Amino acid sequence: MHRILTSRIEEDRVALTPEDFHHLVRVLRLREGDEFEAVTGDGHRFLCRLERAGTAWWGRIQRAAYDPRESPFRIHLAPALIKWERFEWILQKGVELGVASFHPILSERTSSTRHGGYCPRKLERWHRILQEALKQCGRGCLPRLEEPTPLAAVLERLAKHPIVFLDENTHRPLQQRVEELVGCQECLLLVGPEGGWDERERTLVRMKGVPPVGLGPRILRAETAAVAASTILQYSLGDLGRGISTPETPGESEREKPIED
């Protein structure tokens, strides 16, 4: 099912932006009468049929559902900034894996020459990556993305959540932390940069009473570690591979509820 992310729901139809029109009609070659799905990013989804009158196109709503497809376990992923394309890969895979929010870390070892080029336009690009990933995987809710900040600010922002601190310099396995988190509904997952955590950062987290945990004897690239740990947490405590059906269209959902005005 082809999808657009929109805020333009008008009674029984969805208005198309020029970008939506380009994507659906020019790129995907949808024709009048073809179906597509419009998601609003807050859990609502609308099955639509493409209609036109002259040069104007819109989607006529066939069915509406509230079907967010969110995991019951909310991972707040805080990866240190790494090389841009690898960082962006974390964002894309994180959306697919159901990460609830992203908190990029300007870590002590975030190299200023390789990563210093951070600017607000990056954030816009990252938002687009999240949106594209959401459309591709059929997720209903758009994860939050914060501006990059030092580790101390991330710890403060998410102070009430249990922490999973990934560090390759430990023998304590992630599994132990997973067992401690049974019954919790969310966690803050910290992943270091290419050069690893600085001692000051380790101390900051240790002061929270959180021991680091490891992903086995091999050193993973930062982006591999972020995706592997999110996968393990989501599998152990969330909805990955847990038998929750993921219907293709709103009408097939057992969770379907009528949308109220």
Contact range with ligand SAM by CB under 6 A, out of 125-133, 177-185, 216-224, 234-242? 216-224
Residue 59 near ligand SAM by CB under 6 A: no
The candidate with the shortest Cα–Cα distance to 232, out of 211, 219, 216, is 216
Residue 173 near ligand SAM by CB under 6 A: no
* CB-closest chain residue to ligand SAM: 192
Contact range with ligand SAM by CB under 6 A, out of 52-60, 93-101, 201-209, 221-229? 221-229
Residue 220 near ligand SAM by CB under 6 A: yes
Residue 86 near ligand SAM by CB under 6 A: no
* One of 125, 216, 242, 257 touching ligand SAM (CB under 6 A): 216
Q: Are 149 and 106 in contact (CB under 8 A)?
A: yes
Residue 83 near ligand SAM by CB under 6 A: no
Task: Give the whole-angstrom CA distance, residue 115 versus residue 222.
Answer: 15
Q: For residue 38, how many other CB atoms are within 10 A of its CB?
A: 24
β-strand pairing of 44-53 with 35-39: antiparallel
Q: Are 75 and 103 in contact (CB under 8 A)?
A: no
The candidate with the shortest Cα–Cα distance to 97, out of 139, 57, 131, is 139
Residue 64 near ligand SAM by CB under 6 A: no
The structure tokens listed for 52 are: 């036109």
Q: For residue 144, how many other CB atoms are within 10 A of its CB?
A: 12
Residue 79 CB, shortest distance to ligand SAM, in Å, is 8
Residues 180-209 that bind ligand SAM (CB under 6 A): 191-192, 194-197
Q: Which residue has the tokens 């909805």?
A: 239
Residue 166 near ligand SAM by CB under 6 A: yes
Residues at the interface with ligand SAM (CB under 6 A): 166-168, 191-192, 194-197, 214-216, 218-222, 225
